[in-house]
Amino acid sequence: MQINKIYHKIFASAMLILLMASCEKEIKFNGDIVQPMMVVNGLITPDSTIRIHLSKSRFFLSNNEKTEDIPNAAIDIYINGQAKGKMQYKESGIYTSSIRPSINDTVKLVIADTDIQGVQSEVVIPRQSILQSVDTATQTIRNEIYEFDGYNMVPTGRYSYMKELTVKLTIKDPPAIENFYRLNIKMRTQMHYPDTTYTWEGGGETHYADTTVVWEEYEYFYLEGTETPNESLLGFIDIINSSAYSYTITDEFFDGKDKTLKFKFLYTSPKIGDSTGSEEDGENYYPTTFRTPDSQSKQLTVNLQSISKEMYLYFKTKENADNVFDTFFTEPVQIYSNIKNGMGVLGAYTNKEIKIELP
């Protein structure tokens, strides 16, 4: 009887171990070890000379996280089938040339290297997009400022003021040909600091010379009509309006017609003292520092690029690969490439810029 009890315990324990044992284990990779391939990253535009980046791909189980650039490749450029010379290596995998392509040119790159299989790719420089009209409207958005009083966030009676710019672009899409667009916006800010001498509390002075500072930055914005499913568990019903640095668009649903793109963009007014204020006393409040600009201006550059199909497919598939709701059962998205025997993209775009002075 006692022996039976022991057997029962052993049997029950063995069953429990077997059933509860982890169903996850490390396995040996049983495929072929894939040799590194050449990766080309190049977007060509008539506005500048041809510039690309070359690197090697990495085996997915390689513990080496470092990207290996390719410094000694021979890159031949062909424009419309005619050899135009070689690209020169600059640094960090970047190759440049003095050749500036024109619209409708077919640019072909033939890349050879002694260590890795050569690749080639070609792309046609697209025609500039046609903008029928550009409409802008600005309104002031007021938000009360809240401060933490130690327990709660409480209203301060002061307000922050933002400007909301609405931009409507109407594209005239050429009929019967596939067109692809990419929209991005860039803010250029210019600030002027007057000649200032600051006296420190403990004594001593610092002199700041008259300076003008200019910088540009791409802005996140949201293009209406580009709602994407949320990446949450309920992604199939949730819709989010996600901002992006750029939007890629195909003319598939408006081929040959006019298409209006609309986006709104929030910014702080460049007018000094116009960003926060007290409504009660009507005084504008501007945080003073020992160095305050006496003038600033903001200019928005809206760039409606006409892009090659290769560039469109590459960005669209890359975006889809990023946005896929990652579960065990999700099929990963393949990223498009037009690099023969390699990976990456050789794309082309033509800029169409509109500059808007922001009030």
Partner 1 sequence: MFNRPGQELNFGEVFPAKYDRRHDVSIVVSHKFSDRFDIAGTWVFATGNTGTLALQSFIALQEPEYNRYGQIVSTYENLDYISGRNNYRFNSYHRLDLGMNFHKKKKYGTRTWNISVYNAYSNNNPFLVMPTEDYDWNPATNMYEVRKKLIQVSIFPIIPSISYSYKW
19 binds partner 1 (CB under 8 A): yes
Tell me, what DSSP letter sits at residue 2?
H
Question: For partner 1, which residue of 1, 3, 6, 21 counts as binding (CB under 8 A)?
Answer: 21
Residue whose C-alpha is closest to residue 258's, from 171, 128, 176, 178: 171
Question: For partner 1, which residue of 321, 340, 353, 359 counts as binding (CB under 8 A)?
Answer: 321
> Which residues lie below 8 Å from residue 65, measured CB to CB, with a gap of 6+?
none
Rounded to a whole number of angstroms, the minimum distance from the CB of residue 253 to partner 1 is 12
> Quick one: tokens of 181?
């667009």
First and final C-alpha spacing in the chain: 94
Q: What is the dihedral of CA 333, 336, 341, 343, to 10 degrees?
A: -80
d(C-alpha 218, C-alpha 245), whole Å: 7
Q: Of 60 and 151, which CB lies nearer to partner 1 in the complex structure?
A: 60
Q: Which stretch binds partner 1 (CB under 8 A): 20-28, 82-90, 200-208, 227-235?
A: 20-28
210 binds partner 1 (CB under 8 A): no
Q: Kindly state the helix (H) or strand (E) to which residue 267 belongs, with its residue range.
A: strand 258-267
Rounded to a whole number of angstroms, the minimum distance from the CB of residue 271 to partner 1 is 22
d(C-alpha 169, C-alpha 261), whole Å: 5
177 binds partner 1 (CB under 8 A): no
Residue whose C-alpha is closest to residue 167's, from 77, 287, 275, 267: 267
d(C-alpha 309, C-alpha 250), whole Å: 9
d(C-alpha 138, C-alpha 322), whole Å: 34
Rounded to a whole number of angstroms, the minimum distance from the CB of residue 336 to partner 1 is 7
Is residue 119 within 8 Å of residue 55, measured between CB atoms?
A: no
91 binds partner 1 (CB under 8 A): no
Rounded to a whole number of angstroms, the minimum distance from the CB of residue 94 to partner 1 is 10
Is residue 52 within 8 Å of residue 108, measured between CB atoms?
A: no
Rounded to a whole number of angstroms, the minimum distance from the CB of residue 313 to partner 1 is 7
Question: For partner 1, which residue of 3, 6, 24, 204 counts as binding (CB under 8 A)?
Answer: 24
Rounded to a whole number of angstroms, the minimum distance from the CB of residue 41 to partner 1 is 5
Rounded to a whole number of angstroms, the minimum distance from the CB of residue 84 to partner 1 is 23
> Quick one: tokens of 130?
């046609």
3-state secondary structure of 47: coil
Question: For partner 1, which residue of 304, 344, 350, 352 counts as binding (CB under 8 A)?
Answer: 344
Rounded to a whole number of angstroms, the minimum distance from the CB of residue 202 to partner 1 is 33
59 binds partner 1 (CB under 8 A): yes
Q: Which stretch binds partner 1 (CB under 8 A): 123-131, 156-164, 204-212, 217-225?
A: 217-225
1 binds partner 1 (CB under 8 A): no
Size, binding site for partner 1 by CB under 8 A: 57
> Quick one: tokens of 204?
């001593």
Other beta carbons within 10 Å of 255: 15
> Quick one: tokens of 319?
């975006």
Q: Is 344 left (phi over 0), alpha (psi -120 to 50) or beta?
A: left
Rounded to a whole number of angstroms, the minimum distance from the CB of residue 266 to partner 1 is 15
Contacting partner 1 within 245-264 (CB under 8 A): 245-246
Question: For partner 1, which residue of 3, 6, 29, 207 counts as binding (CB under 8 A)?
Answer: 29
148 binds partner 1 (CB under 8 A): no
Other beta carbons within 10 Å of 183: 23
61 binds partner 1 (CB under 8 A): yes
Rounded to a whole number of angstroms, the minimum distance from the CB of residue 19 to partner 1 is 7
Write out the residues near partner 1 by the rule CB under 8 A. 15, 18-19, 21, 23-31, 34, 36-37, 39, 41, 43, 53, 55, 57-63, 65, 67, 92, 184, 186, 215-219, 245-246, 309, 313, 315-316, 318, 320-321, 328, 331-336, 343-345
